[in-house]
A and B are shown apart, each in its own frame.
Chain A
Amino acid sequence: MRAFNAELSKLFSLPGIWLAFLIGAFAPAVITALDSIAQKEEIIAGVSTRLSEVGYIGLGLGVQGVIILGVLAVSSEYLTESSESGGGQQITTSLTVVSSRLHFLLAKVGAVTVISILLCIVAIMTTVLATHLILGEYAPAFEWSRLIGAVCYWTFTALLALGITLLTKNGIIPLAVLIINSSVVSFSVLLYRVTKLAFYLPDRAGAEMFMFTSGTFTGSLFDRYHTPFTGGLVMFAWVVVIFIVAAIVFHRRDVAS
């Protein structure tokens, strides 16, 4: 528990974390607001085919915030960018304070999970607020099951970011791959056209926890392929596998290398 608290205070004292919070809390609402404005007339006329997706698109794309969170949680241990500092790496201090690497890792995972869940709840609140402000009485009702799906999606994404960064020790690659992959031009979109196995990629499978329920985009990528539950399970399996690999590598490698 003490290690967990230490991880929380380490995270909150990072300057970059505020960028993560800002993006995580407000980007979904902004995207949702734009989406709602764009479709307002159709929704009021009752002809919109995407009413059920309003808000969830924002939540799907706004996952950037927790990606930054997951990456920073690890990369900050390894990299110090400052004109003043010498060769100090925080990881050395961290591992002398919490001697068990497994405990250290669990504490980090715990801290990132808790912050991701809270951040997603904030994002859901701002998003719902945005739809109500813009669409008024036409705002769609949000189903609990889908919102829980969104929370899971955010948390798993943050943990994936954390796990990959633990392997690379450098934030650039996980940040680039995950940001691009959570965008509208995701690699999964391309790969889906090459092989159906792309449906088992973590982001595509995970998104089924709360998106693609309408089935209006027939014949496209946005077809439903998994049930929300299996989608979540596939993504969770990815998280677990990456963590097992990362934990083994982290356990075996020298801190300084």
Chain B
Amino acid sequence: MSVSSSRKISQILGAELDKLVTLPLIWLTLIGTFILNLALAAAFTSVGLQGAAGTQSILNIGLASMGYTQAGFIILGILATCSEYTGGQIRTTLTTIPWRGFQLSAKHLALAIITIPVAFIITASGVLYTFIMMRDTAVVIEIDTMIETLVGATGYLTLTTLLSAAIGALLRRTTPALVVLLGYYFIVSPLARVYLPSIKNYLNYFPDTAGYYMYTPPSSDEINVLSPMQGTGISMLWTIIFITVAIVFYRKRDA
């Protein structure tokens, strides 16, 4: 790789970052997710406060809202890729940056750069709120565990965002992408866990369930089948597979 091509990569990345940052819907989604997460953390905390004192885990309660918060990140991912198909922007993109594999990879990278800090702030704010409200009643937790869990949660949300972006790039339309992803994360996956106990072990290897282990602190009453590292690996593999498939299709088809 020459100097000029590494400069080109940073230019493309800069352009993709510009595109994301200047889209008002992205900001609305992030702010909305932040507020929603705090509201849910407050709800979970108030439920937790009704429970017996000294038995609650701040992390468990602070991250209980993750199940809902991930919806915001799914929307973020879909918006990032499907917004190309509004107003014919995709033609401008591809006449400016005709290297399609590069372009879509740069988009995912730009998305990750935005998602990681935001996901960390959002998860940390939820946990912090719970911590402030439950200081006196909850079990004391070590700062190491807290940071590990927050990093895991950030990683999970980032991978979910990238996976959603890949699905969005494959389907190109917001509504079907949203239906497929929300349908899987909120309907199909929870139902499969209830109705198909026979394949429960395999379900652990799906992106959402594997990702769950990334931020679930090991607890005594529950046997964690996957370690956080295994969960991370499997989620990452899913994300990479979907991004690769999206790039293959993106390169082959007419824009």
Residues of chain A touching chain B, judged by Cβ–Cβ distance below 8 Å, are: 16, 19, 23, 31, 34-35, 37-38, 61, 64, 68, 71-72, 75, 79-87, 170-172, 175-176, 179-180, 183-185, 187, 190-191, 193-194
Contact of A184 among B46, B182, B191 (CB under 8 A): B191
With most chain B CB atoms within 10 A of its CB, the pick from A75, A81, A175, A190 is A81
Task: Report whether A86 and B88 are in contact in the complex, using a CB–CB cutoff of 8 Å.
Answer: yes
Q: Do residues A190 and B40 form an inter-chain contact, with CB atoms below 8 A?
A: yes
User: Do residues B47 and A64 form an inter-chain contact, with CB atoms below 8 A?
Assistant: no
Whether B186 and A183, one on each chain, are in contact in the complex, defined by CB atoms closer than 8 angstroms, is yes
| Contacting pair A190 B43 (CB below 8 A) | yes
> Is B112 close to A, CB under 8 A?
no
Give bound CA distance, A35 to B192, whole Å. Answer: 10
The answer on a CB contact under 8 Å between B186 and A179 is: yes
B117 within 8 A of A: no
- Partner of A82 from the list B88, B176, B182, B197 (CB cut-off 8 Å) is B88
Cβ–Cβ < 8 Å partners of B173 in chain A = 16, 81
Task: Say whether A61 contacts B47, CB under 8 Å.
Answer: no
Residue of B86, B87, B187 touching A179 (CB-CB under 8 A): B187
Q: Let me know if B68 and A64 touch, CB within 8 A.
A: no
CB pair B182 A179 closer than 8 Å: yes
**Is B98 an interface position by the 8 A CB rule?**
no
Q: How far is the CB of A58 from chain B (nearest CB, A)?
A: 10
Q: Would you mind naming 8 contact pairs between A and B with Cβ atoms under 8 Å apart? A: A34-B196, A81-B82, A83-B255, A85-B88, A171-B174, A175-B179, A176-B178, A185-B190
For the complex, what is the distance from the CA of A171 to the CA of B183, rounded to whole Å?
15
Query: In the bound complex, do residue B191 and residue A81 qualify as a contact, i.e. CB atoms below 8 Å apart?
Result: no
Q: Is the CB of A171 within 8 A of B190?
A: no
* Chain A proximity of B77: nearest CB distance (Å): 12
Verify if B251 is at the interface (C-beta below 8 Å from A).
Answer: no
Q: Mark B62-96, 1 if CB is under 8 A from A, else 0.
A: 00000110010001001100100111101100000
The 8 Å CB contact of B90, one of A19, A35, A83, is A83
Q: Which of B46, B75, B90, B186 contacts A185 (CB under 8 A)? A: B186
Q: Which residues of A contact B179 (CB under 8 A)?
A: 19, 23, 64, 68, 175, 179
> Given A85-B88, A185-B67 in contact, is the A72-B43 Cβ separation under 8 Å?
no
| Min C-beta distance of A192 to chain B, whole Å | 10
User: Given that A81-B174, A82-B88, A193-B47 are known contacts, is A180 also in contact with B196, CB under 8 Å in the complex?
Assistant: no
With A and B bound together, what is the CA distance between A252 and B182 in angstroms?
A: 33
B182 engages A175 (CB within 8 Å): yes
A172–B83 Cα distance when bound, in Å, is 12
User: In whole Å, how far is B167's beta carbon from the nearest beta carbon of chain A?
Assistant: 14
Choose among A170, A179, A185, A190 the residue that contacts B44 (Cβ–Cβ < 8 A). A190
Task: Given the known inter-chain contacts A38-B195, A176-B178, A191-B43, please indicate yes or no for A87 contacting B187, CB distance below 8 A.
Answer: no
A75 to B86, CA, bound (A): 13
